[in-house]
A = this chain, B = another copy of it.
């Protein structure tokens, strides 16, 4: 949850004066998003979300994110479409911070996805990849495989603090990932943060994705690997092969994976676990005690790393019978 920036009625009125959205009818901070502040905004023209971008989001990346959301919405993919002001601008400023107004996207995220949800989520992810084809802007994955060793360098002590001996294990993982990281897989725009809280359902069916603020260009199968980690582990830390097969099979119903992509899923999933372990480890140490947001537990992803490190049955990714 996060509402870091407080917007007054006066500041809102000043912002809305640039748009053709009529008068505001309701405005409430909502507990959603960790790198931005979000507000439910109802005006005479309908319902919207006002997102205020906090320090963690690089302003220069916002045209990519907002352009992608617009592109996807225009192609029928259910993502919140940014709204332009009268001058055509979607990226605006409020309280000295960048912000955007996007259409309200209905739907509910699920806390404990069922196998059926995993299948739907897989289909939705493939639909996202298909809809993003042809999008003209580019953004490199600054949290991709090449970044992990440099990210870990200042965090070795933090890792040891978490669990003695962990630093050496992570270093070995990083070496193994570097040696085995696949190249030549189909690239495209990936969501890169396709977690259950960023995916909406309606009556059990996929109804949209939100929070495109990690989207970038990378191997499409890496996005599937991120999703496998996020959707297919049980609360006890065990990997649910049935859920994973459902997710991959849902994905393939829309965009079949190549043999190389399927074969790469285990190492991609190991790498995806590394990426979230590293950012959580960083945030764990960096979040001040009094912050109004609770950092996510890096140990959850340390356990996922351990599963991928040792699991041989993960080759089942490549054989969704």
Contact = CB atoms under 8 A, between A and B. Distances in A.
Given A106-B42, A290-B289, A111 B30 contact: no
- Size class of A's contact patch? 20 to 34
B292 A292 contact: yes
Contact of A30 (B12, B28, B203): B28
A233 interface: no
A242 to B, nearest CB: 19
Contacts of A106: 25-26, 42
Contacts of A27: 108
A289 B288 CA distance: 11
Number of copies: 2
Interface in A13-36: 23-32
A159 B292 CA distance: 26
A23 B203 contact: yes
Contacts of A31: 1, 3, 28-31
A202 interface: yes
Contacts of A290: 289-290
A310 interface: no
B112 A10 contact: yes
10 contacts: A9-B108, A12-B108, A23-B202, A24-B108, A26-B106, A26-B108, A29-B31, A30-B30, A30-B40, A40-B40
